[in-house]
A and B are shown apart, each in its own frame.
Chain A
């Protein structure tokens, strides 16, 4: 049993070293932030029950949403193309078709009433200094403000896709895709998806001129965005490996947790949508994970059988040596 005690000693020292350089060292190097499960405790909960028809009237009319936003599912094109929008606001205005499914309702309500507070970027937009957020707050159209906001949200939720129809890719594009690129194309369920830019999927061009023209447009957009945000938001292709699931979730939940004063807004997604964003980042940056699990299982079985045969061979050979 001498061999066994040697193995125990080797294992203990190996595990001790591992513990010290991995879990322990990382706990000392990185701030640990617990997720709040995307409930946004600081935002007041909606108390009124919304009326879809009235909400629609407000969105189309007094709310003046469609002056800047498109709603494709309702056949309303954005009044500005992304290049004009970025020129005017520093970032493209989002289409509202999916927002009811992607964002938390309490967050949406605060976003309508007070965008910089919802986005946690009040440090960047001080009205007294004339720093206005591109989206003006909605002060109401004469009725009860909270009721009107609840109506608008009810409407936005009524036109949004059902949770099961919202794909990880859609969730990512609505929540992250106007600032962040995904340079790596990927394939999912046999379908190939091109790279993502802030102005949409990168098309395939037959002529080089067209490809260069598109590239120029993206670069122009990124220049404006950079000016608005202070730095170009990073490409997210490998973020699932470089940051990991926990960091990404707690970061989008409240970017100020990690980077005090960052221009990155609170994203405001609901918990389900956060999972979908993670899944999309895995589809892009860890696309072989299912294969890895499957092959891993088979190779482990193979190696265990190999080890059993190796042990039997040793016993056979050593029978006459003892």
Chain B
């Protein structure tokens, strides 16, 4: 048993029992971050804040939402939007944040790809991040079911149908997932459970893993410079902060994060109050109707690129291409054979690979929404082939990359 002395203050009392000084040192004042970073390094904090907004607004919505096919639509559009004080505000924050969080995730991912932050000991950061991406995708999809509008119903129908595996005709699996032949009460109840309990639990756990994975390899910097963290930390602690290459997580890094967060929140709340429509599809303000298929069924914007990889091919080939697109980002640290952990701009052919991938995914995103006809269909088809081709090329072009 530890030795306790009479506490001299509340701080001392807590410190003896919880070691708060140690926690503070390890988590904040002596958690070293490179100084040579730009605002893209604040995306993690922005994601944490946005996730916080989703969690808090979600808790308020949860108090009034009714997961019942007969009342779900009205509980959202009438009870929450019109009767509950500020219910409309929580819903708009929740809806906009659910969309914006993916914008930030994509910026965060492409930042990682550009600066090579998935290499040399940082593989687990990338993989845990990709697991978070999958968990957020499942969270977004399950949440989209809850208002039980036309798009909820038909997106639920289309996405669960994918599990029939094309020519495998695994209809039993689809029925098992739905709990019924079509999306109905059992379907809504289980997606409600997934959305408010199981997936958020998984996300919380994965956020812990993602943060933990950063600790040993440290955060990357914008020149891919290898930093001797111990030596630089010693310089910092000796008072030579100006010449040290590292800064403390708090308040140094935190203050820069909060500056970026402040500017981000201006953008975020502008969307919440003046431009929320993009995040809340009009079609979903019609109640679910299993007898009336909407003219256009499309997922939210952040799923469009992978939807477009599914769409231009025949059913079986499309499903295989789709499955490829879902998992291939996980393999990035192993497909990139280059010894360099530097920004893409200094990496020869990889520079072109990076911009080609980014532009190709934007083209896929655009083509995933428009009707799959004529020219759009052709563009989508070649963009999907380009996506697959780029991944096949990656090991080859990086293998022959010169060491910088």
Interface of A with B (CB < 8 Å)? 2-3, 6-7, 10, 13-14, 16-18, 20-22, 24-25, 28-29, 183-184, 186, 237-238, 241-244, 285, 287-288, 291-293, 295-296, 299-300, 303-304, 306-311, 313-314, 316-318, 320-322
Contacts and interface: CB of A to CB of B under 8 A. Distances in A.
Interface string B348-372: 0000000000100010011001110
15 contacts: A6-B39, A17-B366, A20-B365, A20-B366, A21-B366, A29-B370, A184-B77, A184-B78, A296-B272, A299-B269, A303-B265, A307-B263, A307-B265, A310-B258, A311-B262
B258 A242 contact: no
B82 A3 contact: no
B394 interface: no
* Of B40, B252, B285, B358, most A-chain CB atoms within 10 Å: B285
A241 B38 contact: no
A310 B282 contact: no
B358 A13 contact: yes
Contacts of A285: 77, 285
B255 A314 contact: yes
A317 B82 contact: no
Interface of B: 35, 38-40, 74, 77-78, 81-82, 88-89, 92, 103, 107, 241-242, 247, 251-252, 255-256, 258-259, 261-263, 265-266, 269-270, 272-274, 278, 280, 282-286, 295-296, 301, 304, 358, 362, 365-366, 369-371, 376
A242 B102 CA distance: 24
Contacts of B366: 17, 20-21, 24-25
Contacts, number: 134
Contacts of A310: 255, 258-259, 261-263
A10 to B, nearest CB: 6
A184 B78 CA distance: 7
* Of A16, A17, A296, A316, most B-chain CB atoms within 10 Å: A17
Contacts of B376: 28
Nearest to A20: B366
Nearest to B301: A21
Contacts of B266: 300, 303-304, 307
A13 B262 contact: no
Given A20-B365, A241-B282, A307 B262 contact: yes
Grouping DSSP codes into helix (H, G, I), strand (E, B) and loop, the B interface class, with mixed when no group exceeds half, is helix
B265 A306 contact: yes
A322 B241 CA distance: 8
A306 B82 CA distance: 30
B262 A17 contact: no
B39 A321 contact: no
Given A29-B371, A287-B82, A16 B362 contact: yes
B369 to A, nearest CB: 4
B54 to A, nearest CB: 17
* Of A7, A242, A300, A304, most B-chain CB atoms within 10 Å: A242
Contact of B365 (A17, A243, A306, A314): A17
Given A29-B296, A314-B256, A322-B242, A244 B282 contact: yes
Contact of A28 (B263, B283, B358, B371): B371
A241 B286 CA distance: 9
A4 B366 CA distance: 27
B285 A241 contact: yes
Ranked 10 nearest A-B pairs via Cβ: A296-B273, A307-B262, A310-B262, A20-B366, A242-B285, A317-B255, A25-B369, A241-B285, A314-B259, A314-B255
